[in-house]
Amino acid sequence: MLEQLFSDIGSIWAQYGAVYLSGIGNTLLLATVATLIGCVIGFICGILQTIPCAPGDPWIKRALLKVLRIIIRVYVEVFRGTPMILQAVFIYYGVPYFFGVTFRDIWTVSILVVSINTGAYMAESVRGGIMSIDAGQFEGARAIGMNHFQTMLYIILPQTLRNILPQIGNNYIINVKDTSVMFIIGFQDFFAVHKMVSGAVFKYFPSAFLEMGGYLFLTLLASFLLRRLEKRLQGAGNYELVNADQLVLTAGTYSFSGEAPYEEKNRDYRGEKP
């Protein structure tokens, strides 16, 4: 049985290997671009949700922030609470139905759907990442004269990015797999190639086996690369104090080269006896 399975897989790959590779390329490109755009959306939404708003602030600011947070909350709940495949159907068929706008490029729709879906998940990750930063860092930034924008840009967001990097990687891996639902609107990704090939050669399981192996390889490779990136951003695991600084000597190593110590010289100056 295994010999027959691998024989079928070999014949399918020999005949349609280039098509499979094209599907893999489309899947990776869509997942990468959509994840990056989704991260931008998530950071914008996360930052807007964490802007401080005190009762003494102008009413326009408080009202605007309240409206923005309501919109973001609705966006997050809708796109986290509905399947991506239905979101694709709704946008691809619903927008022309309600607004009369026809999408001419399937790539545009696919990137849009996956990006806004990713952004909904990333918004909560970014908000949690910002809130996890110690409040003392905000207070320290204010103490040295930084405004909120400078504090977020130079202190909070770099730490937030490092903290939520595993979640970004997780969303990327999910997108590599979930882009398969875009075949419902005609996107030619890895899964769509499997549907086409299995229908052409009438060998569904060998093609599915090949498809599963391909997705597993892509996700394992992405996990490996993302873990390497996390380790590089974490820096060294331990740090050693440098005691051989030529400018600032370590306490206890001062030498006076024949000169009297400070207190002794002061006693001499004041006319005191040692």
pLDDT digits (tens, 9 = 90+) for 74-90: 999 999 999 999 999 99
pLDDT at 255: 53
CB 216 within 8 A of CB 177: no
Distance between CA atoms of residues 121 and 62, nearest Å: 25
Q: Per-residue pLDDT for the chain (274 aa), expressed as one digit of tens each?
A: 788 888 888 889 989 999 999 999 999 999 999 999 999 999 999 998 888 887 888 889 889 999 999 999 999 999 999 999 999 999 998 888 888 888 888 999 999 999 999 999 999 999 988 888 888 888 888 888 888 888 888 889 888 888 898 899 999 999 999 899 998 888 989 999 988 888 888 888 988 999 999 999 999 999 999 888 888 877 665 555 555 555 554 555 545 455 555 455 555 545 555 5
Contacts 24+ apart (CB under 8 A), 47-56: 47/126, 47/130, 47/152, 47/157, 48/72, 49/123, 49/127, 50/127, 50/130, 50/131, 51/148, 52/148
Angle (CA) 208 107 177, round 5°? 35
Closest to 171 (Cα-Cα) out of 26, 36, 23: 36
CB 206 within 8 A of CB 16: no
